Amino acid sequence: MTKTDAKHMEILRSKTPEQRFAMMCDLMDAQFESMRAGIKYYNPSATEAELDQLVKEGLRKSYSLKH
């Protein structure tokens, strides 16, 4: 483990479970927004509803979710 890794672990251990959960939610939100931006880039004429559907399809594929 590098010094940076050890510092990150120290910071995470100092957080409450609620704070760690909030951090995870923020990271997931960033992931979804990044995915949406990529889909929008490749589908510039897509409506918001179409983007929502394409994001859902991408998530289903990524996480093997059922309909």
Residue 8 located in a structural domain: no
Residue 56 located in a structural domain: yes
Residue 31 located in a structural domain: yes
In which domain, by residue range, is 34 found? 17-63
Query: How many angstroms separate the Cα of 55 from the Cα of each of 14, 29, 47?
Result: 35, 13, 12
Residue 43 located in a structural domain: yes
Residue 59 has pLDDT above 90, yes or no: no
CA dihedral sign of residues 54, 59, 61, 66: negative
Query: How many angstroms separate the Cα of 32 from the Cα of each of 8, 36, 46, 52?
Result: 24, 6, 17, 11
pLDDT tens digits along 16-25: 999 999 999 9
* Average pLDDT estimate for 53-63: 88
Number of domains, the chain: 1
pLDDT tens digits along 29-40: 999 999 999 999
From the list 27, 30, 54, the residue with the least C-alpha distance to 42 is: 54
